[in-house]
Structure 1
Amino acid sequence: MNSYDEIQQFRHQQMTKVSNNHERLNHFHDQIIDNTVKIAMDKVEGEWGIPPAPFAFFLMGSAGRFEQSVWSDQDHGIIFDGSDDCQAYFLRLGSEITNGLTKVGYELCDGNVMASNSIWCQSIERWEIQVERWLLEAKWDSLRHFLTFFDSRVLIGETTFLDQLKNTAFSILQEKPHLYIRLVENVSFVKKGIGAFGQLLPELKGEHSGSIQLKQTTFFPYVNALRLLALKDKIVKPSTLSRFGELSDNYPFIKRYEEDFKRLLDFRLYFRRDAKSYEEVHHIPVSALTKGEKQELKEFMKKGYKLFSETKTIVEKECSTWL
């Protein structure tokens, strides 16, 4: 595939073949993104010459966690090991990558978390300062940026750059354990999906009226709980499933939630495999669910809330002993 148009056509033709298996689907996304980035790299190299420094292109969000559904938006960044003078080159590359990914079918990130934004395209030295600033400011938006960054993995380039930055974060958190409380507070709000009488609570207004917002009501409690434990135990892997695997020995209670999360991934894929947009992926019409499926969805929610509650208690308790 030698152009964005060819990749877009390939994506469209092949998606139905991989949309019934979560792991195969995410490997397919990696293939599409990898090919797109390499075309962008070739284009920029033709205009600006070879990259002026070693670099890493990394994914964040659901792509970083290997948890994409059939549609996804863009969350990515660049780290380079060079002087600030190199930034113009890598911002041009980030802009071309963003443009290419848009053309092949990945929506722009609403929060501009993309390598075309100078905040997410910096030298490793500037990144070190950025990560430290996010944590020490400890404001809601700065911690949200940090948590977004932490769910990351390198797709192309130097993997050690990202590990170095995560280790910087671990060192800061170890020195200032009160920050764990702020991180817990940052992700404690969960959009209610179940009412006082055990009924599902769909959206009441707008385009998705009558639908459950799956991402906020159901996925986030699992993702946020495992991320907090990964930060506490210095686990660099971003995948929620990988975190389950690496953390279960230290936190045996999470084992009973791992299978629920796997089933939740399959549940979303089954009901949203024919979604026509990124926004549609995260909304399931309540009318499309049988009584049994509604009950299954409520169980996913209840267990996610319980997992997060137990995790919050552990982090807060251990943090209090460090202070």
Structure 2
Amino acid sequence: MKNTIAERIQDFLKQFPPFSMLGKEELLMISGQIRVLYLEKGEYVFKQDEKCHDEFYIVREGAIGLYRNIGNEKDLVDICDTGDLFGLRIMIIKKNYRMASLANEESIVYAIPSSVFKPFIDENKDVNSFLLETFATHARNYYTETEKGKRIDNTISIDTANDLSTLRTISYRKKPLICTSSTIVKDIALEMNNRKVDAVVVTDENRYPIGIITDSDLRAKVATGLFPATAMVPEIMNTPVKTYGKKLTIAEAQIALIKNNISHLCITKDGTRSSKLVGVFSDHDLLVSFGNNPSVLIKGIKRAKKIQRLRYIRKQLERLLKTYLEQDIPTLHILNLISEVNDALVVKTIELSLKEMSEPPHVKFSFLVLGSQGRREQLLLTDQDNAIVFEDVSKEAYESTQSYFLELARAITKNLHTIGFEYCPAEMMASNPRWCMSVTEWETQFRTWMTTPTEESTLLSSIFFDFQLVYGDSGMVNQLSDVVFDGVNKSKRFLGLLGVSALQKPSPLGFFKQFLVEQNGEHKDTFDIKTRAMMVLIDGARILSLYHNLKGVNNTLLRYEKLAELESNNKELFESCAKAFRVLLKFRTRQGLMHKDSGRFIKLNTLSKSDKLKLKRCFKPIRDIQEVLRVRFQLKTLM
């Protein structure tokens, strides 16, 4: 007689690895021994520090959150959706759970007995590798929602995010607790408790590591009575220790911990046991490393119910940014990943703000981000630049329609401010009636800026023409883009006027090659890296991209990349402009993280000689791109 329940489970499992790697009969045998768990929201599958179950789990329906308990607070590490595995410790190291798992919503989970599945791990290398990788990274199985080459929900590639995470070098504890072999166990237990650490490294007189004692050793060997508290450290320590160098990657650390069935690695000066101890890396540190990656943050954003949760995630993103900079991950990768998370934050903010409204919108609308965020170059939390475009309505309905979207915009900008995006001092935000209009009004505005330019309209064009849709209808945004390129094609004079603005930016260096600083005001005696250096490169890329009708390319680095392809005679110049912009962007970001501000105004006396030279090398491409604009648009005749 057929077991229809087992067949249904089989049909589900065969969609996902590692089960898709098994034969039909093998899968049916496993399915027949699976328990089905029905979980109410808030119900635990297992709790932190609980003894490992004899099963691991896969989500059938719903969502299971994985949490670390920190005091009385639960810190979300990951969320498992349909097809995701969790609770794999029983298959790998059989230690107590380091995280809790509970249902974030009503869920169905399949519990798979470890004894039933273990033979397939032993016999199938692909299954073995998949489970090891899933356990080590605590990453979701990307086959759940994607096919090869596709991106998840138009946000971020899980492959890319996980690859970047695992290729980073580890962040280890640089001041580990140490003791000598003449220490009594009771003393080190008290010190571990006082320092709130889970391990002590035993070193010799040269500070070379010779052994390690963890909290689990104290429980297993002392608390059980096998050894007295007065025993000497060498009696219970684990030796020899596993040592690695400071450049150990997260991926390598995962493998080392799992392969050796240990919870701690000793980091030494040259990676050997015959060298000084410089730190300790634990399985907890590994969890922290994976808990703070873009894919996890985006999943957290999508499930957030309150703005305050988004603020917490944005702070995590700042820490991730700092790590990326320290690891010298390519700038374009950093921009893409941080921008995806920022966009997800804005989208979720809009969704939560719409729920605050008394009624849904009656017409289509688009929410645009402008300036640095529109160019996908906003690494630090600078001020907001955004706008709303709504569908055309009758004259009679215009005022009430605009009033609705202004109210929505006020809610959005207020919530973005709560997250950490400052209000724009010039009020270039959707909550300003000037920047919340129908598509026809926006088209008229854009045409006016291009046909009868003024100093203000030239400035506004440089901000608003770097727009990007983050929420809503794309059709209206495409209409606005067509208006811009149509106006440019009809008259190159407008590009010339934009070029004049680029040439009028204040110079970074004086006649004697000294940095030119602000002469008065709040930022007196500081160097304005944005206005004096970065903006000329941004303006040059924008103007030449408009000249070549490069639609859909807003990012400055990508614009120079495309320009190098289109103008082979200027390829070297455009590549040097891109290199200079990368250096300036990273420099400003590091300054901002260091001083907890926008990084725009730099105190030169805080820079080293090498940093000043690095900055000065970026200034030649600035002069060169200005010369290209001057010659191409005959700007001497326009000024």
Q: CA deviation at 1:227?
A: 0.7
Structure 1, gaps ≥5 residues long: none
Alignment match, 2:560:
244
Structure 2 Cα separation of the partners of residues 291 and 245 of structure 1: 31
Q: CA deviation at 1:143?
A: 2.0
Structure 2 Cα separation of the partners of residues 197 and 186 of structure 1: 25
Q: Secondary structure at the match of 1:155?
A: strand
Structure 2 Cα separation of the partners of residues 188 and 205 of structure 1: 22
Q: Secondary structure at the match of 1:302?
A: helix
Larger helix fraction of residues? 1
Conservation of the 8 A alpha-carbon contact between 1:57 and 1:157: yes
Q: Label 1:28 to 1:285 Cα distance change in 2 as closer, same or farther (>3 A).
A: farther
Conservation of the 8 A alpha-carbon contact between 1:272 and 1:284: no
RMSD of Structure 2 on Structure 1 (CA): 2.1
**Bigger mean CA deviation after superposition, 306-315 or 149-158:** 306-315
Higher relative contact order by CA 8 Å / sep ≥ 6: 1 or 2? 1
Q: CA deviation at 1:15?
A: 1.5
Q: CA deviation at 1:294?
A: 0.3
Conservation of the 8 A alpha-carbon contact between 2:387 and 2:430: yes
Q: CA deviation at 1:228?
A: 0.5
Structure 2 Cα separation of the partners of residues 313 and 158 of structure 1: 40
361, 364, 386: which one aligns with 1:51: 361
Kindly indicate whether residue 353 of structure 2 is the aligned counterpart of residue 40 of structure 1: yes
Q: CA deviation at 1:31?
A: 2.7
Give the share of equivalent positions with the same residue, in percent: 25
Alignment match, 2:525:
210
Kindly indicate whether residue 322 of structure 2 is the aligned counterpart of residue 12 of structure 1: no
Structure 1 Cα separation of the partners of residues 610 and 362 of structure 2: 57
Structure 2 Cα separation of the partners of residues 149 and 100 of structure 1: 22
Alignment match, 2:424:
109
Alignment match, 1:166:
481
How does the TM-score come out when normalised to structure 2? 0.47
Conservation of the 8 A alpha-carbon contact between 1:18 and 1:28: no
Q: Label 1:160 to 1:130 Cα distance change in 2 as closer, same or farther (>3 A).
A: same
Q: Label 1:212 to 1:221 Cα distance change in 2 as closer, same or farther (>3 A).
A: same
**CA offsets, 1:163-196, max 9 Å, x none?**
2112112212222232222222233212222121
**Bigger mean CA deviation after superposition, 86-95 or 206-215:** 206-215
**Bigger mean CA deviation after superposition, 112-121 or 242-251:** 242-251
Conservation of the 8 A alpha-carbon contact between 1:25 and 1:70: no
Alignment match, 2:383:
73
Alignment match, 2:603:
285
Q: CA deviation at 1:288?
A: 1.9
Task: Tell me the amino acid that sits aligned with residue 126 of structure 1.
Answer: E
Question: Which of the pair has more CA radius of gyration?
Answer: 2
How does the TM-score come out when normalised to structure 1? 0.90
Structure 2 Cα separation of the partners of residues 282 and 211 of structure 1: 9
**CA offsets, 1:263-314, max 9 Å, x none?**
2222222232233233xx2112112211111011112123222222223322
Q: Label 1:276 to 1:256 Cα distance change in 2 as closer, same or farther (>3 A).
A: closer
Larger strand fraction of residues? 2
Structure 2 Cα separation of the partners of residues 125 and 271 of structure 1: 42
Structure 1 Cα separation of the partners of residues 380 and 498 of structure 2: 30
Alignment match, 1:305:
623
The 5-angstrom pairing of residues 152-231 of structure 1 reads 152-231=467-546
**Bigger mean CA deviation after superposition, 235-244 or 26-35:** 26-35
Structure 1 Cα separation of the partners of residues 313 and 379 of structure 2: 17
Q: Label 1:30 to 1:198 Cα distance change in 2 as closer, same or farther (>3 A).
A: same
Structure 2 Cα separation of the partners of residues 54 and 29 of structure 1: 23
Structure 2 Cα separation of the partners of residues 152 and 230 of structure 1: 14
Q: CA deviation at 1:4?
A: 2.1
Q: Secondary structure at the match of 1:274?
A: helix
Structure 1 Cα separation of the partners of residues 595 and 421 of structure 2: 14
Q: Secondary structure at the match of 2:631?
A: helix
Conservation of the 8 A alpha-carbon contact between 1:225 and 1:312: no
Kindly indicate whether residue 415 of structure 2 is the aligned counterpart of residue 97 of structure 1: no
**CA offsets, 1:198-247, max 9 Å, x none?**
11123344443332111001101100001101111122322112212222
